[in-house]
Amino acid sequence: MPNLGPGIFTVTLGDRRLDQARQLYGPSLRYFAAAASAGSIRAAARELNVASSAVNRQILWLEGTLDLKLFDRVGRGVRLTEAGEILLAHIRRSFSDFDATLGELQALKGLRRGSVTIAAVESVCDSLLPDVVSAFRAKFPGIHVSLRVGGSERVNGFVISGEAEVGFTFDPTRDHGLTVAFQRDLPIGVVMRPDHPLAERKRLKLADCLEFPFCLPSEGLSLRKRLDAVLVTLAPSRKTFVEANSLRFMRALVKRGGVIAFQTRFGIEDERESNSLVFRELDDPPLRRDRFAVVISANRALSLAASMFFDHATDAIRRQLSENDADMASLRA
């Protein structure tokens, strides 16, 4: 095997076989396939816009090179022999593979330029999306990515209206214009400082938390709807410190001490790692899960750029959630 330089090599075929392959993949195969398809050399010549003698000459040359009879001449037409059928099947496979490869190359060419608009809730923007978008941009630097941030209902609305192609949300509405393309249930919990009295407990109920001042997500957020369903049964003496539509803002208040907040584990990865905040799951059945989802329009197909972004993002999210599950399991052990 001759060395052609770093990382380059060639496989040596027999000289005769290599010459045959080089010659066969000229016009002869195309002319043969046309004659087989049309059932006559004359019809193939009309289709190819060449002289009948040229088609016949290429087929005769092909039969001579292979030393096989490819056609039986029947009247003014031709009929494939067994050898001809084998060769035609090979040609069709080869052309099909080439068409598929050409399609992939054209798709890749299309991805050199393009744009995708996504919408996401704040917690996903804080945690998952920066790494997802950064890795996607490294792979497809010519694709422009636009992000819209809002609550769950706004994210759903962006996708339904066409203002965004891919949405990252919680508890998506059952709307005929929306398709849930990926979903995962995440535990709801309490976020607090490590020195908070509740931090020593592994599992909590919402009633335990109401003994202390707490922050609530604003009405309209999916998490607030779940909390309200339990709060109404507890009829607590409200010790709410603040209501806000920003989980990031509420975490900042928790860090300053005196209050706790409710959310999923999204968005607090750095704080948990540095032990500046702790997360404890709530044990109330209605609060054990909040449904995270990636949504797309039910009425419009994704653009090529958006489809590639969706595949990239869902793969990355699956990996990230699996890692988070392992981390949480180790904390509960």
DSSP string, 147-216: EEE--HHHHHHHHHHTS-SEEEEES----TTEEEEEEEEE--EEEE-TTSGGGG-SSB-HHHHTTS-EEE
Set out the domains of the chain in order of their start, with CATH numbers: 15-110 (1.10.10.10), 114-185+291-332 (3.40.190.10), 188-288 (3.40.190.290)
Q: For residue range 213-236, list pLDDT tens digits in order.
A: 888 888 877 788 888 888 878 765
Residue 314 tokens, joined:
């869902």
Percentage of residues in the chain having pLDDT higher than 70: 81
pLDDT in tens, 174-219: 777 889 988 888 888 899 999 999 988 888 888 888 888 888 888 8
In this prediction, residues 103-116 reach a mean pLDDT of 66
**pLDDT tens profile 136-170:** 988 888 888 999 998 888 899 899 888 999 999 98
Q: What is the pLDDT of residues 299-331, one digit of tens each?
A: 888 888 888 899 999 998 888 777 655 444 434
> What's residue 260's pLDDT?
92
What type of residue sits at position 132? V
Name the residue with tokens 């039969």: 63
pTM of the entire predicted model:
0.59
Strand pairing report for 290-297 and 178-186? antiparallel
Report the amino acid identity of residue 77: G
Q: How far apart are CA 60 and CA 66, in angstroms?
A: 10
Backbone φ and ψ of 302, nearest 5° = -70, 145
Mean of the per-residue pLDDT values of the chain: 80
